[in-house]
Amino acid sequence: MAEQFIKSARRTGTSLGISIPKEIVELLGIGEGDFVRISIEKVKKNAR
């Protein structure tokens, strides 16, 4: 199952991070330490 969402990248130390919304975590049964496949595409700010 694949889900899509738009989030802004946030600074975490010297890297950028993106949080996964709680609804998606619960829907997909994702837990800490699980591996996930991520596809990244930059979108315009008003694309929501």
- pLDDT, greater one: 46 or 48: 46
Asked if residue 32 is part of any domain, the answer here is yes
Type and span of the H or E element at 11? strand 10-12
| Distance separating alpha carbons of residues 3 and 48, to the nearest angstrom | 15
Asked if residue 1 is part of any domain, the answer here is no
| Distance separating alpha carbons of residues 29 and 11, to the nearest angstrom | 26
CA dihedral 3, 6, 10, 15 (to 10 degrees): 50
Overall number of domains in the chain: 1
pLDDT higher than threshold 80 for residue 48: no
> Which residues form the domain of 34?
10-47
Structure tokens at 26: 């619960």
| pLDDT score for 2 | 86
| pLDDT score for 8 | 93
Asked whether the beta carbons of 36 and 30 are under 8 A apart, the reply is yes
State if pTM tops 0.85. Answer: no
> 1-40: per-residue pLDDT in tens?
889 999 999 999 999 999 999 999 999 999 999 999 999 9
